[in-house]
Amino acid sequence: MAAASYLLDTAILLHWTRDTAQAKAIDQQFQLSQLRMRPLICEVSIGEMLAFSRSRKWGPQKQQRLKDIVERQTVIVRISDPRVMDAYADLSTLAKSSGWSLFHEKNDLWVGAATRATGSHLLTMDTDFLPLRNVRGWTVTVLDEKTALPRP
């Protein structure tokens, strides 16, 4: 399942940082460690991860692993990019008019906007993104939280 680029949602980044079985399954399925292009992450995911790590009182080793992944193994998509802001406005309007729960989670909207602006394939475990699988121009894979296999 090779794509030009993948954008990883926060849950995927969390599994990667924790080096879980799900992270290994995702890498095996999508060959993230073998791609020429490093996976993308939206900068709001970094804030979410930092908040999570502080609330869970991560030690220095796990904090360093997160820092290394963010700085050396991914490319950060900035929400200040005009293309991301434009995509945010479009996605927010679409979500609101469609009654999708995605509208209520602003960070999800930013992740979706970063995906749209970069033309990436979104990898997520967040079922709020399920409606986007049926929208023309979007490539979204929603993975099961336990198995990391794509949801039907």
Residues 69-109 pLDDT 10s: 999 999 999 999 999 999 999 999 999 899 887 666 789 99
Convert the pLDDT of each residue in 119-151 to its tens digit: 999 999 999 999 999 898 899 999 999 999 999
CB atoms within 10 A of CB 146: 9
Question: Structurally, what CATH architecture does the domain formed by 6-142 represent?
Answer: 3-Layer(aba) Sandwich (3.40)
Kindly indicate the confidence band of residue 2, based on its pLDDT and cuts at 50, 70 and 90.
very low
Compute the distance between CA of residue 21 and CA of residue 18 in angstroms, rounded to an integer: 9
Q: Which pair of structure tokens corresponds to residue 102?
A: 């995605």
Determine the Cα–Cα distance for residues 18 and 33; give it in Å rounded to an integer: 16
DSSP state of 85: H
CA dihedral 143, 12, 102, 56 (to 10 degrees): 130
- The domain locations on the chain are 6-142
What single letter denotes the amino acid at residue 80? S
Give the position of tokens 């791609």: 35
